[in-house]
Structure formats: C-alpha cells, structure tokens
Amino acid sequence: SAEVTLIAEEEMKADPAGLYADFSRADLVKTVLDWQGSVVEVSSSQFRNAIAQIQLLNPNVEFNLDGL
C-alpha cells in the first residue's frame, strides 16, 4: 500500500545503509541508550577539562563548583 511505501522511503532516509533494518525495537532502544551514555561521558569530560584550564589560568581565583 501507499502507507507501507512511505514508511520504507522514510526508513531509507533515516538509515540509507540499512544498518538498523533488522533491529528489533529493543535493539534500537539499547543502541540509543548506549549512545546517550557515551554523549554524557564525553560532554562531562570536556566540561571538566575546560574547568581545569580555567583554574590553571586563574590560580588566585577560588571557583565554586558545588553541584556540578
């Protein structure tokens, strides 16, 4: 039907290489959660590096990092 064709076309736009074509919903959720965890880790690491650089350049300034 036209609806199935539209869904197939949308899937091809989102996943042109077909990497996720055989994934179950659970597999997709797991993949998204894994990526989400990685993004949080990288962002947190970059933030800590930026704070360390600011502290290095401002040794006489006391930073309040409570809650970060």
- Rounded CA-CA distance 46/2 in Å is 47
Band (4; pLDDT cuts 50, 70, 90): low
4: which 2 tokens?
């199935």
Q: Read off the pLDDT of each residue in 1-6 and give the average, rounded to a whole number.
A: 70
Band (pLDDT 50/70/90 cuts) for residue 58 is very high
Reading the block at residue 6, the tokens are 């539209």
Length of the chain: 68
Per-domain boundaries in the chain: 24-68
Task: Give the pTM.
Answer: 0.52
Q: How far apart are CA 55 and CA 48, in angstroms?
A: 10
Taking residues 50-63, report their average pLDDT. 92
Q: What is the pLDDT of residues 7-23, one digit of tens each?
A: 678 888 888 888 777 88
